[in-house]
Amino acid sequence: MSECSWATKRTTRKERREALEKYNLGSEMYKCIRHFIPQLIPLLKGAVTDPRNQSYIKYDLYLILFVRIISAALNFSSMRNMSSELSNTKAIANIAIMLGYDGLPELPHWSTINNCLERMDPKELENVIYEIVYRLIRSKAFNASRIRDKYWQVAVDGSGLYTFSERHCDYCLTKEHKKDGEVVRREFYHYILEAKLVLLNDIVISIATEFVENDPGVPAPLDGEKAKQDCELKAFYRLVGKLKSAFPRLPICLSLDSLYANAPVFNVCKENGWHYIIRFKDGSIKTLAAEFHTLKDMESKHVFSNVEVDLRMDYKFVLNIPYNTFIINAAECIVTNKKNKKKNKLTTFVFITDLSISRKNCAEFIADGRRRWRIENEGFDIQKHHGFYLEHLFSRDYTAIKLHYLLIQIGHAISQLFVKYIRSKDIILTLEKIHKDLVESFRTMVISAEDLQYVNKRCQIRFL
């Protein structure tokens, strides 16, 4: 099937619908995988150890992992839903073709997948994610995403996954709810710290994950005792170690929230040869805030404004603010939105950095800092509320929970690349509609020999 069969815009809904009905979106997703992550299947085959007894194996490990990744990319809400929807002759045939798998009568049941994940080592799947990111960076397709044409932006943020009224496992974190000084309720939860590579066109790809978890050897606190437990800042230093080990020479600029505005974080970035852009609040470092607010109006050439239609942006920046042994630059942007219902609503952004700031690059610097919100919107919010069901408990086993999370990250990466690829063809569809049509195509159309020729044809895919 030729690429131009639906690449041009249709003028009516009927023409667009008829084009989509003839088009195999499954082969398009396969083309996306082959183009951007060609080593995915070899990695699943060779980089992950099969923990099962070889005498009782019915399904290869790479098949099990690939099915779970595809189920995330197809936005299935649960493991049972996945088993039900993919138990279809044509869907099975499509997965077999993608894997080069001969004689695949059935896909593994959801319980088989969970039993396998319970025995695996999450670190091996983390290594697969490192290789995927390395390939995307090496492809040069996203070089325009780099800050100042050099530094890859890595946004770091934490998020809760699951909450329980009773202890789920020994790794649970604990939160106490008090009334009149007395503990009235304990909450148990799982939490992760995620580093995502921020690319243009609202693409965010998981680059490293650190699970915030208690040491199972530490007993739960009694009434009145303070819990000795892991936290986001402790996890941050472990995450930094993973990043440096996996990408020792990658030029990185960390995008962080105000929690990380402190000397130890500045020092970690300096030791690793990284830069940082940190959202700054006055309560983070009071002396630094006072210095900034005192100096920001003194240098007239460091104050300017830009007006874009209904938005007015007023910029101020201060250079070379001393803090401990560090020299810090800071910039402020006050955005006035004239179209907002609250007349002329003001929003203020302040960022600190060790990068140079000038009148020429200040606006771009603020824009780079504001891109950190993508880890919340395109990252956690999409994965939790728009098709990836990150907060759904796919397994009760803690090891399997970790594996499900990491496999969802790979599935989300494939989904983002696929959606941007489809939209680059001038097909105007909502995110929900794209995934709905993809599932329908997967279940009703088998990838043909003609499709495979199209998939294997070398090409350039550009989103920028």
Domains, the chain: 3-122+395-456 (no CATH), 151-381 (3.90.350.10)
What residues contact residue 342 under an 8 Å CB cut-off, 6+ apart?
none
Asked if 47 and 462 touch (Cβ cutoff 8 Å), the reply is: no
DSSP code per residue over 230-261: --HHHHHHHHHHHHHHH-TT--EEEEE-GGG-
pLDDT in tens, the chain (464 residues): 434 334 445 456 666 666 556 678 889 899 999 999 999 999 999 989 999 888 888 999 999 999 999 999 998 888 888 888 888 999 999 999 999 988 899 999 999 999 999 999 999 999 999 999 999 999 888 999 999 999 999 999 998 888 998 999 999 999 888 887 787 788 999 999 999 999 987 899 999 999 999 987 666 555 555 667 899 999 999 999 999 999 999 999 999 999 999 999 999 999 999 999 999 998 889 999 999 999 999 989 999 999 888 889 999 999 999 999 999 999 999 998 877 666 567 889 999 999 999 999 999 999 999 988 877 766 677 777 666 778 888 999 999 999 999 999 999 999 999 988 887 776 667 778 888 888 888 899 999 888 888 888 877 776 65
Q: Tokens for 115?
A: 């039993």
Containing H/E element for 92?
helix 89-99
Q: If you search the block for the tokens 């998939």, which residue do you land on?
A: 455
d(CA 186, CA 180): 15
Q: Rg for the chain (alpha carbons), in Å?
A: 24
CA angle, corner 92, sides to 410 and 98, nearest 5? 50
Q: Is 457 exposed, middle or buried (0-12, 13-18, 19+ CB in 10 A)?
A: exposed
